[in-house]
Amino acid sequence: MPDIKWDKLSLDELKDIQKQAAKAIDSYNARKRKEALAAAEAAVAELGFSLSELTSGAKAKTIKAAPKYCHPDNPAKTWTGRGRQPVWFKEALESGKSPEDLLIAK
């Protein structure tokens, strides 16, 4: 690699080098991705599958949390205890109730 005098280059020259480097990095990553895909396809082909067969339907399943708290007057309004507190929960706390008072009875 040549010894570049970075402080002697103009801003335009530096930006041009930056663009060329970004293109080279993108090209390198694309080649590596293509190689990895080919290797993965070859590996699953040895086992008698295709890569699309193994990856179809591979979506992560989310587990919905069960409600932990409910509105004292309207049991249809619930909260899992995760994320932002609902307005009704905050108002109940401000009115003197404790979180334990709002728990759903087991």
pTM: 0.47
| Structural domain containing residue 95 | 69-102
Q: Are residues 17 and 41 in the same domain?
A: yes
Decide if 63 is inside a domain. no
Q: Are residues 21 and 50 in the same domain?
A: yes
Decide if 61 is inside a domain. no
Decide if 87 is inside a domain. yes
Q: Are residues 15 and 50 in the same domain?
A: yes
Separation between Cα atoms, residue 94 and residue 73, nearest integer Å:
16
**What is the model's pLDDT at position 60?**
64
Q: Are residues 74 and 48 in the same domain?
A: no
Count the domains in the chain.
2
Separation between Cα atoms, residue 94 and residue 102, nearest integer Å:
13
What would the 3-class secondary structure string for the chain be? Answer: CCCCCHHHCCHHHHHHHHHHHHHHHHHHHHHHHHHHHHHHHHHHHHCCCCHHHHHCCCCCCCCCCCCCEECCCCCCCEECCCCCCCHHHHHHHHCCCCHHHHECCC
Q: Are residues 22 and 50 in the same domain?
A: yes
pLDDT tens digits, 46-92 = 999 888 888 876 566 678 889 999 998 898 999 999 999 999 999 99
